[in-house]
């Protein structure tokens, strides 16, 4: 019965300060939603991909090789640290489907154990059959027993679809240079039998060795050894984590881990501050009641629990709602935007961190309530039953500056003293507004950055109409001789093995083209035009960061003959997307190589040359405009993220400002009534209360800008390995974020002002509360 | 010509479905520069009368004319302006702003009205020149009430309204405060209206308005006012 009546009391008390308790609840929900939401993202991606990696027995490294001999393969498998080595053939092939999408062909043999497809339906049954990418199949309406035409070794061959599968190498499925975001309409994979390939080429053919390392093996040593063994037959080694799929997965995981670790902090602090100010006031208003309870003989512990429970209920309730909301809101809404092909659509929850955030939120709510109550409980019941001594006025530091102080109006002095008396509340408002502005700045910066990618790549850098990928048989002289009607730049794009000064080996994109191509305008970080150096290479900023090099350093690049040459880095350029190494055709030849274009960039004088485009000299062609459109379409995820960020910012601003103005108002209602009676106008009284909000909005908005930059940077860094997003806080961004924050603040001030309008002069003057 | 005139003034309140007539059709006049006491038991409607004169409340029926202006038909904003320039208040619980010093509390009133008097001079007048920089919590109740009087007078109002000004004070201090109010009123030509349930205070007034159950029970005119400090209660 006793517990029951106290419980009833707490429910009624909470109902009386509805708004404050709803605020605590909302903040608790928000904090836990963000933690569990972000956690569920990396947890889901991490676990799902781990399952896929394990199911397919993904390799630790892939060795790209040209025409390996049996002896070489044998030596690879005998290298110390290699547990298993398997050979296969991998090549991109055009399909006969509409829009000429590309499929990456992988061969498989009966004995293959590494990089197995994760079969969803059917399986490879006959020699001429194929297992096809299930996302690709779905997008193109392909079913088992359909036939798909592929152009392999220069001829069109039909394959019967016998199975649908996913691949752990195609979780994030991008072709490479022309696209940056997966699009199953344009790209996928297909798995065919080794024997079928043999009959297409007339001989057994391989170009890749998949390697599984034995436990505890030193990958770098294995790489060096393989490099030595294969010599000029080695094209390059790609380690797991470096290929586009595993790399993207990994960076997504680490991005959301970082965000989950730092992002919610702000929300927890605000929750604690709101609870603190609410409970402190509630407990102080209930001095008398605490005295009565004590006088009635309630134990200290019971009274403490009674008040602590206020915060506990809110924290617990908020955490549960957050647990329900977070994974659904973030996981279900955002994960599909990451364009990962995952085994299923389960969203996993990181319960460890949920428990951790639950404890944290209970400290922020219950713990803070306990603290507020403990301070009062020290007094004896008789002291508590007496009226609260009036709050003392205090001189503040501003008065030490008589010049400034004496010139201030009294209402200003009043505001200054009040604000400084409630430092914690001011801190709450400022942190809240800092958070709000930070989130809005991050959202806008991110949008600007990502929107800038397409423009920088396909408007600033590239000026061609079409990029035409050439057939293997086409060489430089052939292009010159056919005299296309337009400006033509020949470009060779290949993956090359490089060794950075610290000895690490990677495969990087190498782009070779003439120095003065009018169709490619490279720029540095500040947007100044950069000409390719004649006596060295030019690399992109993000690549320089990955390789840990700077202008003036040299890296080793592997030549076709297998030997490495040192190439000095002459300059660093900025590319929003497509990181790599750039050099002139002349420098390339001076390295002892032959310049053979893989593609041409063309700006047509008149209409595109249809005959040429349709000829078998051309593998594929793409319009710059449509490339740009694709990038823009594929980066739309950022808008969802931006809306989410702004939404959270709005809630944050709303909760803290509404709370602080209501607390401010109810604490000072007597003063305000006096002022009203003295003849202060409504707007003068309003300004007394709301100026504090304006002050916190201004300081919070300023502090929020760097916070926003940090958030934007973390999100941008994790977006994609190929994208180099540099957050530049522009004046517009700051202005717009300031304006948005201000709009939030004005709305709240409006609502608070309306509440304030109905001060009952007669009632509140009557007696001391 | 009456400075303040009530004509058949009625004020109803709706409390929990009931209608309570706090003031039930009263008429009276108050002359300029006089000290007036509204006397009655609690619930007689005297505070309502004070609030109506001060423009903090409006009648449901009837007219109130102050200094030729009909305040009963004024808007909220006009009433605020009226209070700002014409009315000084002294409250039972002083109602000083705790966060402002004694001097600042007086200056606060001065800040908003058109023709204020010097704040320091007012505080000297009420004998608080040594307390200027103290906060309200640092001075006694009597001193706080004196600050409140100084604040009311500094606005240089035409009317000073006092709601149980001695209610929270001991008798010695109360007498001093009353004397202060009366002296100031006469020397500065203010019209003073004091609301109280203490019949003894009535002796110091020019006019005493007796109220009972929202109606006027009688009006007395004193030709000989007793000195405030001679009142015994």
Q: What is the ipTM of this complex?
A: 0.84
**Hey, which residues does A190 pair with through a beta bridge?**
A105, A132
Chain B contact set for A391 (CB, 8 A)? 98-99, 137
β-partners of residue A91 are A105
CB contact under 8 A, B81 and A679: yes
Which residue of chain B is at minimal alpha-carbon distance from A757?
A: B76
Contact (Cβ atoms closer than 8 angstroms) between residue A435 and residue A703: no
Is residue A431 within 8 A of residue A655, CB to CB? The reply is no
| pLDDT recorded at residue A743 | 87
Q: Convert the pLDDT of each residue in A216-267 to its tens digit.
A: 888 888 888 888 888 777 877 888 888 878 888 887 888 788 778 777 887 8
- Note whether B97 contacts A414, CB cutoff 8 Å: yes
Q: CA-to-CA distance for A321 and A250, rounded, in angstroms?
A: 30
**For A48-54, what is the mean pLDDT?**
91
Q: Which residues have a Cβ under 8 Å from the Cβ of A433 and sit 6 or more positions away?
A: A653, A656, A657, A696, A697, A699, A700, A701, A704, A741, A745
Listed in sequence order, the residues at least 6 apart from A250 whose beta carbon sits closer than 8 Å to its beta carbon are: A241
What percent of chain A has pLDDT above 70?
A: 94
In a domain, B64, yes or no: no
Least confident of A43-57, A159-173, A612-626: A612-626
Which of A145-154, A274-283, A688-697 is predicted most confidently?
A: A145-154
pLDDT band for position A673 (50/70/90)?
confident
Q: How confident is the model at residue A384 (pLDDT cuts 50, 70, 90)?
A: low
Give the model confidence (pLDDT) of A599-610 as tens digits. 999 999 988 888
Q: What percent of chain A has pLDDT over 90?
A: 20
For residue B106, list chain A residues with Cβ-Cβ distance below 8 A: none
- B151-173: per-residue pLDDT in tens? 888 888 889 999 888 877 788 88
For chain B positions 121-160, those within 8 Å of chain A (CB to CB) are 135-138, 151, 155
- Main-chain phi, psi angles of A94, to 5 degrees: -75, 150
pLDDT, mean of residues A62-78: 83
Residue A516 — very low, low, confident or very high, per pLDDT cuts 50/70/90? confident
Interface touch A391/B77, C-beta < 8 Å: no
Whether residue A179 is predicted with pLDDT greater than 70 in this model: the reply is no
Is position B167 within any domain?
Answer: yes
Q: How far is the alpha carbon of B80 from chain A, nearest alpha carbon, in Å?
A: 5
- The answer to whether B98 contacts A680, with C-beta atoms less than 8 Å apart, is no
Whether B136 and A390 lie within 8 Å, measured CB to CB: yes
Chain B: residue nearest A759 by CA? Answer: B56
Category of A53 on φ-ψ map: left (φ > 0), alpha (ψ -120 to 50) or beta: alpha
Q: Looking at residue B136, which CATH number applies to its domain?
A: 3.40.50.300
Q: Give contacts of A418 with chain B, Cβ < 8 Å.
A: 99
User: Which chain B residue has its CA at the smallest distance from A760's CA?
Assistant: B56
Query: Can you tell me the mean pLDDT for A255-280?
Result: 81
Q: Is the pLDDT of residue B129 over 70?
A: yes
A393 close to B (CB below 8 A): yes
The string over A218-237, giving b where at least 16 C-beta atoms fall within 10 Å of a residue's C-beta and e elsewhere, is ebeebbbbbbebbeebbbbb
B138-163 mean pLDDT: 88
The per-residue pLDDT for A59 is: 92
Q: Where are the alpha helices (DSSP H) in A57-185?
A: 70-78, 134-140
A563 touching chain B per CB within 8 A: no
B80–A418 CB contact, under 8 Å: no
pLDDT (tens digit, 9 = 90+) per residue, A423-439? Answer: 877 888 888 889 888 88
Nearest Cα residue to A572 out of A606, A546, A599, A549: A549
CB A706 within 8 A of CB A413: no
pLDDT digits (tens, 9 = 90+) for B7-21: 999 998 887 778 888
For residue B123, which of B144, B100, B98, B94 has the smallest C-alpha distance?
B144
Instruction: Tell me which of A106 and A632 has the higher pLDDT.
Output: A106
Restricting to A residues 682-701, those with a Cβ less than 8 Å away from any Cβ of B are 682, 684
The pLDDT of residue A1: 44
- Taking a C-beta distance cutoff of 8 angstroms, is the pair A148, A191 a contact? no
Determine the structural domain holding residue B104 and report its residue range. Answer: 33-57+74-230
State chain A's maximal CA–CA distance in angstroms.
105
Angstrom distance (rounded) from CA A596 to CA A599 = 9
Q: Across A70-79, A334-343, A519-528, which has the greatest mean pLDDT?
A: A519-528
Chain B residues whose beta carbon lies within 8 Å of the beta carbon of residue A409 = 111
The model's pLDDT over A315-355, given as tens digits with 9 standing for 90+, comes to 899 999 999 998 988 888 888 877 788 888 788 888 888 89
- Domain ranges, ordered by start, for chain A: 1-58+252-389, 59-88+206-239, 90-201, 422-454+629-769, 472-615
Band (pLDDT 50/70/90 cuts) for residue A177 is low
User: Does pLDDT of A769 surpass 50?
Assistant: no
Based on the structure, what is the number of domains in chain B? 1
Q: Does A202 touch chain B (CB under 8 A)?
A: no
Would you say residue B94 lies in a domain? yes
- Percent of chain B whose predicted confidence (pLDDT) is above 70: 95
Residue B225 forms part of a structural domain? yes
Kindly determine whether residue B56 and residue A762, on different chains, have CB atoms separated by under 8 Å: yes
Per-residue pLDDT of B62-92, as tens digits, reads 999 999 899 988 988 898 888 888 888 888 8
CA separation (Å) from B189 to A31, A141, A173? 64, 99, 93
pLDDT for B128 equals 86
Q: Do A410 and B89 touch (CB under 8 A)?
A: no
A768 confidence band (pLDDT: 50, 70, 90): very low
Structure tokens at A451: 């929107």
CB contact under 8 A, B97 and A671: yes
User: Of A375, A360, A384, A365, which Cα lies nearest the Cα of A309?
Assistant: A365
User: What residues in A contact B137, CB-CB < 8 Å?
Assistant: 389-393
The answer to whether position B67 is within a domain reads no
Write the residue in B81, B95, B99 that is nearest to A393 by C-beta.
B99
Q: Would the CB atoms of B80 and A679 count as touching at under 8 Å?
A: yes
Assigned domain for B68 exists = no
CATH class of A59-88+206-239: alpha beta
Which residues make Cβ contacts (< 8 Å) with residue A310, sequence separation at least 6? A10, A13, A14, A21, A279, A282, A369
Q: Give the span between the Cα atoms of A500 and A99, in whole angstroms.
A: 39
Of A392, A681, A768, the CB nearest to B137: A392
What pLDDT sits at residue A147?
A: 92
Instruction: Kindly determine whether residue B83 and residue A421, on different chains, have CB atoms separated by under 8 Å.
Output: no
- Nearest by CB to B84, from A394, A409, A679: name it: A679
- Residues in contact with A150: Cβ distance below 8 Å, sequence separation at least 6, in sequence order: A93, A94, A95, A96, A103, A105, A156, A157, A158, A159, A190
Q: What is the pLDDT of residues A389-423, one digit of tens each?
A: 555 666 777 777 777 777 777 777 778 887 777 78
Q: How far is A687 from chain B (nearest CA, A)?
A: 14
- Using the Cα atoms of residue A96, residue A102, residue A107 and residue A108 in order, give the sign of their dihedral: negative
> Is residue A376 pLDDT above 80, yes or no?
no
Q: How far apart are CA B75 and CA B73, in angstroms?
A: 7
Residue in chain B lying closest to A410 (CA): B108
Does some domain include residue B178? yes
Q: Which of A189-198, A380-389, A504-513, A717-726 has the lowest mean pLDDT?
A: A380-389
Would the CA dihedral through B172, B174, B177, B178 be positive or negative?
negative
Which residues are CB-contacts of A656 (< 8 A; sequence separation ≥ 6)? A270, A273, A274, A428, A429, A431, A432, A433
d(CA A664, CA A658): 10
Q: What is the mean pLDDT of residues B114-143?
A: 85
Q: How far apart are CA B8 and CA A755, in angstroms?
A: 34
DSSP state of A338: G
């Amino acid at each position: 019965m006793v517990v029951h009546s106290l419980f009833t009391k707490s429910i009624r008390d909470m109902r009386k300060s509805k708004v404050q308790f709803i605020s605590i609840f909302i903040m608790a929900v928000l904090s836990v939603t963000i933690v569990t939401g972000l956690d569920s993202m990396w947890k889901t991606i991490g676990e799902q991909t781990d399952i896929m990696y394990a199911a397919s027995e993904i390799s630790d490294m892939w060795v790209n090789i040209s025409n390996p001999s049996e002896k070489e393969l044998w030596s690879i498998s005998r290298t110390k640290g290699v547990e298993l080595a398997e050979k296969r053939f991998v090549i991109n092939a055009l399909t006969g489907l509409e829009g000429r999408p590309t499929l990456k062909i992988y061969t498989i043999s009966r004995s293959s154990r590494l990089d197995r497809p994760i079969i969803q339906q059917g399986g490879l049954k006959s020699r001429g059959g194929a297992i096809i990418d299930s996302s690709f199949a779905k997008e193109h309406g392909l079913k088992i027993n359909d036939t798909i035409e592929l152009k392999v070794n220069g001829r069109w061959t039909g394959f019967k679809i016998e199975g649908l599968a996913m691949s752990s190498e195609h979780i994030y499925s991008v072709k490479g240079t022309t696209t940056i975001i997966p699009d199953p309409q344009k790209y996928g994979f297909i798995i065919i039998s080794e024997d079928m390939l043999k009959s297409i080429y007339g001989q057994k053919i391989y170009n890749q060795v998949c390697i599984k390392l034995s436990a505890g093996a030193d990958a770098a040593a294995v790489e060096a050894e393989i490099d030595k063994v294969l010599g000029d037959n080695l094209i390059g080694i790609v380690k797991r984590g470096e290929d586009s799929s595993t790399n993207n997965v990994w960076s997504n995981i680490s991005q959301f881990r970082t965000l989950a670790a730092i992002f919610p902090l702000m929300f927890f602090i605000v929750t604690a501050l709101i609870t603190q100010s609410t409970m402190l006031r509630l407990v102080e208003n209930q001095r008398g009641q605490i005295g009565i309870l004590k006088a009635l003989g309630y134990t200290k512990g019971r009274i403490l629990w009674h008040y602590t429970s206020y915060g506990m209920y809110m924290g617990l309730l908020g955490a549960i709602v957050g647990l329900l909301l977070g994974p659904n809101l973030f996981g279900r809404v955002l994960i599909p935007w990451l364009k990962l092909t995952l085994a299923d659509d389960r969203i996993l929850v990181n319960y460890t961190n949920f428990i951790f955030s639950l404890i944290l939120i209970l400290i922020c709510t219950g713990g803070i309530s306990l603290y507020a109550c403990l301070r009062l409980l020290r007094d004896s019941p008789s002291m508590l039953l007496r009226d609260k001594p009036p709050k003392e006025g205090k001189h503040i530091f501003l008065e030490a500056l008589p010049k400034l102080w004496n010139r201030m109006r009294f209402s200003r002095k009043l505001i200054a003293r009040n604000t400084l008396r409630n430092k914690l509340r001011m801190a709450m408002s400022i942190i809240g507004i800092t958070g709000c502005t930070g989130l809005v700045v991050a959202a806008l910066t991110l949008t600007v950055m990502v929107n800038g990618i397409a423009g920088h790549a396909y408007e600033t850098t590239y000026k061609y109409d079409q990029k035409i990928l050439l057939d293997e048989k086409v060489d430089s002289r052939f292009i010159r001789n056919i005299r296309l009607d337009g400006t033509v730049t020949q470009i060779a794009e290949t993956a090359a093995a490089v060794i950075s000064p610290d000895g690490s080996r990677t495969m990087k994109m190498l782009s070779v083209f003439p120095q003065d191509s009018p169709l490619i305008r490279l720029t540095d970080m500040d947007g100044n035009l950069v000409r390719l150096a004649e006596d060295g290479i030019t690399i992109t900023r993000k690549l320089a960061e990955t390789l840990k090099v700077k202008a003036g350093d040299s890296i080793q690049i592997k030549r076709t003959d297998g030997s490495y040459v040192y190439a000095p880095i002459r300059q660093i350029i900025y590319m929003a997307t497509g990181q790599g190494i750039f050099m002139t055709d002349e420098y390339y030849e001076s390295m002892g190589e032959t310049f053979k274009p893989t593609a041409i960039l063309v700006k047509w004088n008149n209409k595109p040359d249809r005959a040429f485009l349709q000829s078998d000299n051309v593998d594929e062609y793409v319009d710059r405009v449509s490339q740009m459109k694709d990038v823009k379409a594929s980066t739309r995820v950022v808008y969802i993220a931006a809306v989410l960020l702004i939404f959270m910012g709005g809630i944050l601003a709303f909760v803290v400002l509404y709370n602080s103005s209501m607390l401010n108002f109810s604490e000072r209602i007597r003063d305000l009534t006096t002022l009203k009676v003295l003849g202060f106008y409504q707007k003068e009284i309003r300004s007394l209360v709301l100026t504090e909000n304006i002050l916190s909005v201004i300081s919070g908005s300023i502090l929020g800008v760097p916070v926003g930059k940090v958030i934007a940077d973390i999100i941008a860094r994790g977006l994609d390995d190929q994208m180099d997003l540099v957050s530049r806080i522009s004046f517009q961004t700051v202005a717009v974020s300031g304006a948005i924050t201000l709009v939030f603040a004005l709305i709240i001030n409006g609502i608070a002002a309306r509440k304030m309008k109905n001060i009952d002069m007669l009632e509140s003057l009557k007696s001391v509360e | 010509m009456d400075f303040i005139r009530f004509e058949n003034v009625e004020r109803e309140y709706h409390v929990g479905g009931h209608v309570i007539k706090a003031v039930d059709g009263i008429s009276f006049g108050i002359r300029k520069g006089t000290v007036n006491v509204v006397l009655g038991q609690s619930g007689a409607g005297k505070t309502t009368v004070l609030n109506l004169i001060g423009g903090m409340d409006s009648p449901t029926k009837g007219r109130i004319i102050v200094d030729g202006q009909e305040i009963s038909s004024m808007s909220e904003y006009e009433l605020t302006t009226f209070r700002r320039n014409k009315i000084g208040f002294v409250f039972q619980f002083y109602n000083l702003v705790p966060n402002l010093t004694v001097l600042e509390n007086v200056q606060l009133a001065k800040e908003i009205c058109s023709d204020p008097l010097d704040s320091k001079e007012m505080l000297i007048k009420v004998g608080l020149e040594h307390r200027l920089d103290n906060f309200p919590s640092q001075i006694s109740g009597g001193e706080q009430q004196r600050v409140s009087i100084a604040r009311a007078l500094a606005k240089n109002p035409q009317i000073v309204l006092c709601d149980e000004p001695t209610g929270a004070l001991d008798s010695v201090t109360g007498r001093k405060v009353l004397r202060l109010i009366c002296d100031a009123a006469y020397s500065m030509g203010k019209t003073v209206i004091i609301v109280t349930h203490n019949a003894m205070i009535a002796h110091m007034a020019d006019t005493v308005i007796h109220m009972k159950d929202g109606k006027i029970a009688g009006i007395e005119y004193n030709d000989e006012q007793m000195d405030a400090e001679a009142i015994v209660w």
